[in-house]
Structure 1
Amino acid sequence: MLQLIDVSKTFNPGTVNEKKALSHLNLELQDGDFATIIGSNGAGKSTMFNAICGTFFADEGAVILDGTDITYEKEYKRSKYIGHLFQDPMKGTAPNMSIEENLALAYLRASAVKGKFFSRISQKEKQMFREKLALLDMGLEDRMKNPVGLLSGGQRQALTLLMATVVTPKILLLDEHTAALDPATAEKVLNLTKRIVAENKITCLMITHNMQSALELGNRTLMMNSGEIVLDIKDEERKGLTVADLLEKFKEGVGAQLDNDRILLS
């Protein structure tokens, strides 16, 4: 479903602020893979997501999605088939528009229907929005006319997840999407994520700072360092691994201990 071939990206090249964010990165995801990604700050995790989404074009390499080369495709075009959630619940929604209007925008952006006008969402489509909101079990189906800005962080993140998947994307990118939520809400949003991904068989990449979650969620765990993937374990190889095992594998692959307190203390 996804291939990153020798992807490199350097910010501010030739200046004192030069930063090589991605270094000849290679990754291949099969259709239906759910891979968790862990690594220190600056390891290149979010930069890799931005390269996939088209926030910037890679300096070198290629991005292939579902057999199509999208390396130089504009970000707004990729958004039709790439779902993306951020750590900040304020991103990804229009706060002054209603829940229904936000869902309509997301639906029309990704829908294959041509020439569909925002003001002409049918009653059938509105009912579909209501049914999907009810599955979140947050009472949002009874607040469809309310502005999104009135929602809590957890409600907003759950809505953003629904918006990203209201039309099943080819790939879903989750950038620490529960990190800003309180533990109880984070668990609820994570359970919603697992259910939606499983039911729709969505290929998914999820950045997390929680090493236990990185081993328990999905079928594959990636570790990044200095813009490269230094560890890629999946299926049988991943079963039975502990956090201590993961840290040891990181040390073997990089030649140094993982020293990120946020990860180690989570």
Structure 2
Amino acid sequence: MLKIINASKTFNPGTINEKKALVNLNLELKTGDFATIVGSNGAGKSTLFNAITGNFYVDKGHIILGGEDITFKKDYLRSKDIGHLFQDPLKGTAPNMTIEENMALAYLRASTSNHTLFNRISAKDKRRFREHLSLLNMGLEDRMKQPVGLLSGGQRQALTLLMATMVTPKILLLDEHTAALDPATAENVIELTKRIIKERNITCLMVTHNMNQALKLGNRTLMMHHGSIVLDIEGKKRENMTVNDLLNEFAKNAGQDLDNDRILLSK
């Protein structure tokens, strides 16, 4: 579903602020893969996501999604095929618009119609929105006319997840989407994430700072360092791996210990 070939990106090249954010990065995800990503600050995790979404073009290499080379495809065109959640629950929704209006925008954005701007949401679509909301078990189906700004952080993040997957994307990018939530709410959103990904067989990349999450969620664990993927584990090796094993493998492949206190405290 996703293939990244020798992707590199350097910001401010030739200046004192030069930063090699991606360095000959290679990654291939099969349809239905759910890979977690761990790495220190500056390892390139968010840069990787921004390269996939088209927030900028890579300096060299190729990005192929669903068999299509999207390396130089405009970001607004890619958005039809890519779901993206951020750490901040305030991103991804329009607070002054109602729940129903937010869902309508997400639905039309992901529509495959060539005349999306001229489409209208039908009564059937609204019933579908209500059915989707009821799956959250948050009572939001009875609040469709209320502004999203009245929702809690957890409710907004759950709604954003629903909006990003209402029309099944080719890939779902989760950038620490539960990090700003309280533990109980974060766990609820994680369970919802697992259920939606499994039911829709969605290909997913999820950045996390939690080492246990990195090993327990999905079927693959990736670790990044200085703009490259230095560790990619799955199958039996991953099933039998402990957090300490993961840290040791990272140190062996990266040539140094992981130095992110936030990640290490999650052990």
- In the superposition, the TM-score normalised over structure 2's length comes to 0.98
Provide the rounded CA distance (Å) in 1 between the counterparts of 2:209 and 2:116: 40
What SS does the corresponding residue of 2:233 show, helix, strand or coil? strand
User: Deviation per CA, 1:17-59, whole angstroms, max 9, x where unpaired?
Assistant: 1111000000000011000000000000000000000000000
Shift of 1:117: 5.1
What SS does the corresponding residue of 1:169 show, helix, strand or coil? coil
Shift of 1:236: 1.5
Q: Is 2:108–2:119's contact at 8 Å kept on the other side of the alignment? A: no
CA distance 1:119–1:110, shift in 2 (3 Å):
closer
Q: Is 2:86–2:175's contact at 8 Å kept on the other side of the alignment? A: yes
User: Deviation per CA, 1:119-154, whole angstroms, max 9, x where unpaired?
Assistant: 721111000000000000111101101111111100
Runs of 4+ in 1 over 2 A off after TM superposition: 113-120
Provide the rounded CA distance (Å) in 1 between the counterparts of 2:74 and 2:194: 29
Q: Is 2:104–2:121's contact at 8 Å kept on the other side of the alignment? A: yes
Instruction: Determine if the alignment matches structure 1 residue 206 to structure 2 residue 206.
Output: yes
1:96 corresponds to which residue? 96
Identity of aligned residues (%): 72
- Listed as ranges, the gaps of 5+ residues in structure 1 are none
Q: How many residues align?
A: 266
Which range moves more in the overlay, 14-23 or 192-201?
A: 14-23
- In the superposition, the TM-score normalised over structure 1's length comes to 0.98
Alignment of 1:1-266 (within 5 A): 1-116=1-116, 120-266=120-266
Provide the rounded CA distance (Å) in 1 between the counterparts of 2:29 and 2:132: 28
User: Deviation per CA, 1:71-105, whole angstroms, max 9, x where unpaired?
Assistant: 00000000001000000001111111100000000
User: Deviation per CA, 1:192-231, whole angstroms, max 9, x where unpaired?
Assistant: 0000000000000000000000000000000000000000
CA distance 1:229–1:51, shift in 2 (3 Å):
same
Provide the rounded CA distance (Å) in 1 between the counterparts of 2:236 and 2:153: 36
RMSD value, Cα: 0.9
What SS does the corresponding residue of 2:158 show, helix, strand or coil? helix
Provide the rounded CA distance (Å) in 1 between the counterparts of 2:113 and 2:59: 34
Provide the rounded CA distance (Å) in 2 between the counterparts of 1:213 and 1:118: 42
